[in-house]
Amino acid sequence: MRPKRADEEDHLDYFPPSPRKPWSMGLAKSVSTLVIFVAGAVLGMSMSSQFTRYCNSHSELFFPRMMYSANCDKECLGIGKFVRPAHLMHSMTDDELFWRASMAPRRDGYPFRRVPKVAFMFLTRGPLPFAPLWDRFFSGHQGLYSVYVHTLPDYKLNVSETSVFYGRQIPSEVVEWGTISLVDAEKRLLANALLDFSNQRFVLLSESCIPVFNFPTIYKYLINSVHSFVESYDEDGACGRGRYNHHMSPDIELSQWRKGSEWIEVDRELAIDIVADSKYYSLFRKYCKPACYSDEHYIPTYLYMFRGSFNANRSLTWVDWSRGGPHPARYGSSSITEGFIDSIRNNRTLCTYNYEPTSTFISLRESLHLVH
């Protein structure tokens, strides 16, 4: 064996053999690695939880669980609740109500089975003395009529649960005779009735009115008419043109000023027009004050200006003004006979129905003691 050279010995000393590491150092490294892994796992889980909450909060914003988990039979908006509200009471202001009621579909036809109804709208201060008579009048004709009652705000009708008037009061405001508040009440009744898309004709009545024909006759008469029934005439003198205020010009001229009974009957299109109008209503609110009475002039004037050709220009409510004064005559029970009712049905007033001669009134007003 040859002897090592000096340079080889120096090389070996430069690269000394690695000492053996004790086993405790390897264990420490393993523990450190495990701690780092666990810490990373905990941090990852925490970040995942934060991310999940973030995603859930934003998905709830754009895709709310209630929208997809709600019981649609009770909570979702369907066509039924839209075209025929289940309840008359609501929290809408007049402006909100009129805005909602003036909506009209532009598409032909209806996506539901629509049977046209007549809306009977009662404007009253309190009780309805003829409620039993009206209950008999409506009996057996469910689905062909709707009833709406405007009373003083705090008044509660005292009728049985079987009455057609039960639960038919609308949100109301105080009404003062001779003021614009009467027009407000009329528009409020029309607007609430318009929320039911099946209502086609709208009759305004007082607590003093009674029908002089049976329901089928009146229903057929109204539904088949091509005209609305609103008195609208030009009357000279203090109680007609004398009430006109020249500040209404140029929007309403004296030649357009009309007068008529507030007891009107209109079709759906005209009812929407009346509820939607704010321009001409504002003129009456500002300039038609006692001794100008908006309830006698606003609708007759508006109708004459914009839908005169669709008006029969007469009222369907018979009223006796022969005794003079600011209010019509009243009749006690002894005056109401079969002959009296027949005289109203077959009176000699000449008028037309769908362009054919007729002489029909459908209701009598101011017979306060007819029913006991």
Q: Which residue has the tokens 């754009």?
A: 62
**pLDDT for residue 364 is more than 70:** no
pLDDT, residue 5, reads 54
pLDDT (tens digit, 9 = 90+) per residue, 281-290? 999 999 999 9
CA distance 33 to 31: 5
In terms of C-beta density within 10 A (0-12 exposed, 13-18 middle, 19 or more buried), how is residue 16 classed? exposed
Count the Cβ atoms, other than its own, within 10 Å of residue 229.
26
Query: What's the average model confidence in pLDDT over 193-204?
Result: 97
Beta strands 356-358 and 363-364: pairing type?
Answer: unpaired
The string of DSSP codes covering 166-219 is: TT-BPP-----TTSTHHHHHHHHHHHHHHTSTTEEEEEEEETT-EESS-HHHHH
For residue 83 the two structure tokens come to 């075209």
- Model confidence at 200, in pLDDT bands (50, 70, 90)? very high
Count the Cβ atoms, other than its own, within 10 Å of residue 98.
21
- pTM (predicted TM-score): 0.77
End-to-end Cα distance, the chain: 148
Q: CA-based angle 263:171:174, to the nearest 5? A: 65
Q: Which residues contact 372 (CB under 8 A, 6 or more apart)?
A: 333
Angle between helices 94-101 and 181-194 (to 10 degrees): 50
Domain at 82-317: CATH architecture:
Alpha-Beta Complex (3.90)
pLDDT (tens digit, 9 = 90+) per residue, 44-97? 666 666 655 655 555 554 555 554 455 655 666 678 878 888 789 999 999 999
pLDDT, residue 372, reads 27
